[in-house]
Amino acid sequence: MTGTQSVERTTELIGLVVRAEVPMTYTDLVAATGLPRSTVSRLLGAIERGGLVERDASGAYRGGRLFAEYATRFDRVDELVRVAHAHLVDLADETGETVNLAVAWGAHVAHVDQVDARFVIGSVNWVNIDVPSHCSALGKVMQAWGAVRRPIGRLEIRTPHSISTHADLEAELERTRLRGYALTRGELEEGLDGIAVPVRNTADTVIAALGVSGPTFRIGERRPQIAERLQVHAAGISDDLVRRSRY
């Protein structure tokens, strides 16, 4: 059996198990695929070890823990967005600037919700846009509190103000932890500033970052005031999540 055949047959087995309305037995899977019993046994063993399928008390196969973890992750992000959105709206009203919510997605920082600024200048939709996390206030928060790993290799330089060395990044993350919020000053785009704070769950783990961004000429000396409002709303999101008992 070639590598391609093995992948195709493994995929077929996973598909049969996951789509089945009730758990499928080993005999069911042999009959459904028409494969030799030894092949089905070997492939099932591999995907069971990988968490893609698991056996119930009777020994029949059902979808494994990886599918449950994947579904739970989406459910949690959806719940987080539902809970946090009102706070994003209030922050946008209070600051007049764009407000974003971001979460860790593997090694990346994913923007999952946004409320736009009341101004045309500075209103960019960042949802689903991949940006270097060390150039973003949201990304700095997620790195500073260990929600995503530090970048490896050469740092991407977006503007002359971008952090260019790992030593400088580590120093910046330490400053972020000490003051309780992250700042960017023209590091992603010249003339664009950002401020972000961590959002925590009941275990005091950082699960998201809440941020405000806008042109330097509007953010300017308002950074401490905006940071304070961000911290108030981040605490509010955490309190709301506790009440819903999802985190």
Report helix, strand and coil shares of the chain as percent, to nearest 5: 50, 20, 30
Residues 169 and 50 reside in one and the same domain: no
63-77, 83-97, 136-150, 233-247: segment of lowest average pLDDT: 63-77
Residues 29 and 80 reside in one and the same domain: no
Residues 36 and 137 reside in one and the same domain: no
Q: What angle do CA 214, 218, 220 make, to 5 degrees?
A: 100
Mean pLDDT for all residues in the chain: 87
176: containing domain:
70-244
Mean pLDDT of the region 40-61: 89
DSSP-derived 3-state class of residue 236: helix
Residue 192: C-alpha distances to residues 123, 139, 205, 219 (Å): 11, 15, 29, 9
Q: Domain end: 15, 37, 63, which one? A: 63
Residues 106 and 88 reside in one and the same domain: yes
Residues 57 and 19 reside in one and the same domain: yes
Residues 120 and 146 reside in one and the same domain: yes
Indicate if the pLDDT at residue 122 is higher than 70.
Answer: no
Indicate if the pLDDT at residue 70 is higher than 70.
Answer: no
Residue 223 pLDDT grade (very low, low, confident, very high; cuts 50, 70, 90): very high
Nearest to 216 by CA among 200, 236, 194, 232: 194
How many structural domains comprise the chain?
2
Q: Are 83 and 199 in contact (CB under 8 A)?
A: no
Residues 40 and 121 reside in one and the same domain: no
Q: Which residue has the higher pLDDT, 145 or 242?
A: 145
Q: Are 101 and 80 in contact (CB under 8 A)?
A: yes
Residues 174 and 194 reside in one and the same domain: yes
CB neighbours of 132 closer than 8 A, spacing ≥ 6? 139, 151, 155, 156, 158, 162, 188
For the record, the structure tokens of 86 come out as 């009102």
Mean pLDDT of the region 104-109: 78
Indicate if the pLDDT at residue 138 is higher than 80.
Answer: yes
Residue 247 pLDDT grade (very low, low, confident, very high; cuts 50, 70, 90): very low
Residues 90 and 205 reside in one and the same domain: yes
Burial tier of 175 (Cβ tally within 10 Å: 0-12, 13-18, 19+)? middle
